[in-house]
């Protein structure tokens, strides 16, 4: 990354502001899911240790819940520039080159998010039609896939937005140099 995170505070443009609020709400919801899973896991461990009765299907619920939670963190991570960046080969290149590469990377994240959301839509439909369920509780697996769809759609928009911010920043810098 060129000069640190693009969005250190709430964006000032209206679209960026709304996108940031949505991403933050998704991340908070994901955090609440993790808290709920932690409490359920604690109850299961205590139940297993004290009463020999764990929460039935706790592993299934943790798998499904963690998948939903992790997906919900991705858009805010993208907006904050928090994804892992390997800059070994570009560390000594010009800032404009790094900025264009960051724009390309953000664009690829946006496109990947859109592709994943599209394919997960088809996957959720297929899982629903096949009546696929978890082994112990019989929870329809398409529920979790459907719950992840908005996160990946928001990741796509966040990636495209940050690509635009990177491109805008390098174009402004080049214009100032002239």
Specify the pTM: 0.90
d(CA 54, CA 42): 10
Q: Both tokens of residue 92?
A: 């000594």
- The predicted-structure confidence for 140-149, as pLDDT tens digits, reads as follows 999 999 999 9
Q: Is 133 helix (H, G, I), strand (E, B) or coil?
A: strand
- The pLDDT of residue 115 is above 80: yes
Q: How far apart are the first and last CA of the chain?
A: 23
The label of the residue with tokens 């933050």 reads 24
Q: Where are the domains of the chain?
A: 14-177
Q: Both tokens of residue 141?
A: 């697996």
d(CA 171, CA 99): 10
- The pLDDT of residue 1 is above 50: no
Q: Are 49 and 28 within 8 A, CB to CB?
A: no
Query: What number of other Cβ atoms are within 10 A of residue 28's Cβ?
Result: 12
- The predicted-structure confidence for 64-101, as pLDDT tens digits, reads as follows 999 999 999 999 999 998 888 777 788 888 888 888 99
Q: Both tokens of residue 20?
A: 């940031």
What phi, psi does 133 have (nearest 5°)? -135, 160
């Amino acid at each position: 990354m060129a000069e640190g995170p693009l969005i250190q505070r709430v964006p000032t443009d209206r679209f960026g502001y709304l996108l940031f609020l949505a991403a933050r709400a998704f991340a908070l919801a994901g955090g609440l899911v993790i808290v709920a899973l932690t409490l359920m896991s604690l109850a299961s461990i205590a139940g297993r240790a004290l009463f020999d009765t764990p929460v039935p299907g706790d592993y299934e619920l943790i798998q499904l819940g963690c998948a939903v939670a992790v997906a919900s963190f991705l858009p805010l991570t993208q907006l904050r520039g928090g994804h892992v960046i390997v800059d070994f080969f570009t560390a000594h290149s010009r800032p404009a080159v790094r900025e264009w590469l960051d724009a390309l990377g953000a664009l690829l994240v946006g496109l990947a998010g859109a592709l994943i959301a599209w394919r997960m839509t088809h996957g959720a439909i297929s899982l629903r039609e096949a009546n696929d369920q978890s082994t112990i509780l019989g929870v329809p697996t398409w529920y979790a896939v459907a719950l992840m769809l908005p996160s990946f759609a928001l990741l796509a928009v966040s990636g495209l937005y940050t690509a635009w911010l990177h491109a805008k920043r390098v174009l402004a810098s080049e214009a100032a140099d002239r």
